[in-house]
Amino acid sequence: MEKKEINEIRKCFQRNDCRIDRLRGCYVNEEKEKISSIRELFLALEDEEMSRYCELFRKALSGKIGRNLFNLSFPLAEEAEGGRQHFLLRLLDSELKDEELVQEFFDRVIESYQEARKYLILLVRGVYDIPGRTSDGLGLGDASEEVYSFLLCCICPVALLREGLCYDKAAGSFLSRSDDWAVQKPDSAFLFPAFRERSTDLHEALYYAKKPAERHEEIPGELLGAPLPRAEKEEQLLFRDLVEDILGRKCDFDSVKGISESLSQLVEEGKEREESALLDREGMKKLLRENGAEEERLLRFEKSYEEKTGGDDSPLLAENILPGKELRLKSKLLKLNISSELSELLESRIIDGREYLLLPISDDLELNGIRLRQKLSED
């Protein structure tokens, strides 16, 4: 799923235009025991309660693709009868009315999820009448071309609120609070099936992880049977190793600066198309060739690529490996961030046998908050 498709489905979780029809939940303690359950017609909830739930569901479709949101592809074996995608499809078709299926789903989550604390599993089913679009992207109002039925599952930590005084509206005064347990925003979540090119895609799902460093890979791996793509940090390290290996002695300031500028252009072109900018094997090789790699070293590219990717030929997300809209220079003694708009002014020059990076001093330069004046002469 692309960001524009995710945002379209995210709008299904607004209180004033909510597309959820059924809510199920299961509260689990530290010993992986079910404490209580939720079974509600979602639109029958009180407005405030509905708003709270919708806030959690919208959070599960937020963040950056490749950092918090990951597209999962089901292996063919999981789509066969008895497979994990096939189980999700049965759950979806049941409209969450089959109690045995719902409880089996909760059991599978509890068995897979590696977390020794209280948490709440929320599972909702929704229906979205996909509005038609003209060739130039304009909506056709109520004209629906397809109905997208989906499941959204959120796994939310339940934490003890801090002790203290809180205002009790019923009592009209401040009372001591010591043992209130509150549902936190989801740590993990998934949407099934995916919504790709404004249509149902039963072969994929969208996975959400709150923390990039704690992605709970057991959920996509064990519960869904769909491998999780490389993490953002993994892609950055893979890209760095390939660049340093293939450029070799040509891995200098000008070459790396050129690579960063090429990646920035690739990302901007992707934004114009409203698509993720991808860098595949051939694109990577071309990027290196255009930025200083010698043909002799490019001969080892295929072998190096295979070794460093471990045979995973999935493309890199350009936005993941681009450090941002600035050049970042770092050493043990120096850390310098320079706006990409000024990158053309920064140059490498050898003076008296030593390489220097030169940046013209501007009129608005400050040091520790003090404005500096330019030395226009040696006086």
As to burial, measured by CB atoms within 10 angstroms (0-12 exposed, 13-18 middle, 19+ buried), residue 173 is exposed
Q: How confident is the model at residue 338 (pLDDT cuts 50, 70, 90)?
A: confident
Could you tell me the pTM of the whole model?
0.86
Which of 177-191, 286-300, 319-333 has the weakest average pLDDT?
A: 319-333
Measure the CA–CA gap between 256 and 342, rounded to whole angstroms.
16
Other Cβ atoms less than 10 A from the Cβ of 201: the count is 18
If one compares 371 and 165, the residue with the highest pLDDT of the two is: 371
Query: Is the separation of the CB atoms in 346 and 327 below 8 Å?
Result: yes
Nearest to 155 by CA among 229, 202, 90, 105: 105
**Structure confidence at residue 201 (pLDDT):** 96
Query: What is d(CA 187, CA 203) in angstroms, rounded to the nearest whole number?
Result: 24
Is 255 a residue whose pLDDT tops 80?
Answer: yes
Position 323 scores a pLDDT of 67
Look at residue 370 in the predicted model and tell me its pLDDT: 86
Tens of pLDDT, residues 38-76: 998 888 888 899 999 999 999 999 999 999 999 999 999
Tell me, what's the pLDDT at 229? Answer: 92
Q: Which two tokens stand for residue 240?
A: 């760095």
- Is residue 8 scored above 80 in pLDDT? yes
- How does residue 367 score in pLDDT terms, banded at 50, 70 and 90? confident
For the cut 60, the answer to whether the pLDDT of residue 379 exceeds it is: no
Beta-carbon contacts of 8 under 8 Å, excluding residues fewer than 6 positions away, are 195, 198
Query: What value does the mean pLDDT of the chain take?
Result: 89
pLDDT at 332 over 90: no
> Which residue bears the tokens 């989550």?
109
What are the beta bridge partners of residue 330? 335
CB atoms near residue 130 (< 10 Å): 16
d(CA 290, CA 149): 46
Return left, alpha or beta for 4; rule: phi > 0 is left, psi -120 to 50 is alpha, else beta.
Answer: alpha
In whole angstroms, what separates CA 290 from the centre of its chain? 30
The sign of the torsion formed by the CA atoms of 244, 245, 250, 256 equals negative
Whole-angstrom distance, CA of residue 268 vs CA of residue 340: 13
Identity of the amino acid at 208: Y
Q: What is the mean pLDDT of residues 309-326?
A: 86
| CA 358/CA 349 separation, integer angstroms | 7
Please compute the mean of the pLDDT values over residues 326-355 and round it to a whole number.
82
Position 199 scores a pLDDT of: 93
Query: What is the C-alpha to C-alpha distance for residues 73 and 64, in angstroms, rounded to an integer?
Result: 18
Q: What percent of the chain has pLDDT over 70?
A: 92
Q: Is the pLDDT of residue 34 over 90?
A: yes
- pLDDT (0 to 100) of residue 322: 81
Decide which of 261 and 364 is more confident: 261
Given its phi and psi angles, is residue 233 left (phi above 0), alpha (psi -120 to 50 degrees) or beta? alpha
User: Are 109 and 187 a contacting pair, CB within 8 Å?
Assistant: no
Contact 30, 108 (CB under 8 A): no
pLDDT at position 339, please? Answer: 77
pLDDT, one tens digit per residue, over 98-144 is 999 999 999 999 999 998 899 999 999 999 999 876 666 555 555 56
**Mean pLDDT on 350-359:** 88
3-state secondary structure string across 111-179: HHCCCCCCEEEEEEEEEEEEEEECCCCCEEEEEEEEEEEEEEEEEEEEEECCCEEEEECCCCEEEEECC
Q: Name the burial class of residue 124, with classes exposed (0-12), middle (13-18) and buried (19+) by CB atoms within 10 angstroms of its CB.
A: buried
- Give yes or no for residue 228 having a pLDDT over 90: yes
Give the lowest-confidence range in 100-109, 267-276, 367-376.
367-376
State residue 138's pLDDT score: 57
Cα–Cα dist 153/60, whole Å: 9
- Proportion of the chain above pLDDT 90, given as a percent: 62
Residue 3: what pLDDT? 92
pLDDT tens figures, 141-175: 555 678 999 999 999 999 887 666 766 777 777 76
CB 150 within 8 A of CB 9: yes
Query: What angle do the packed helices 281-289 and 253-273 form, to 10 degrees?
Result: 140
Provide the token pair at 234. Answer: 């993994």
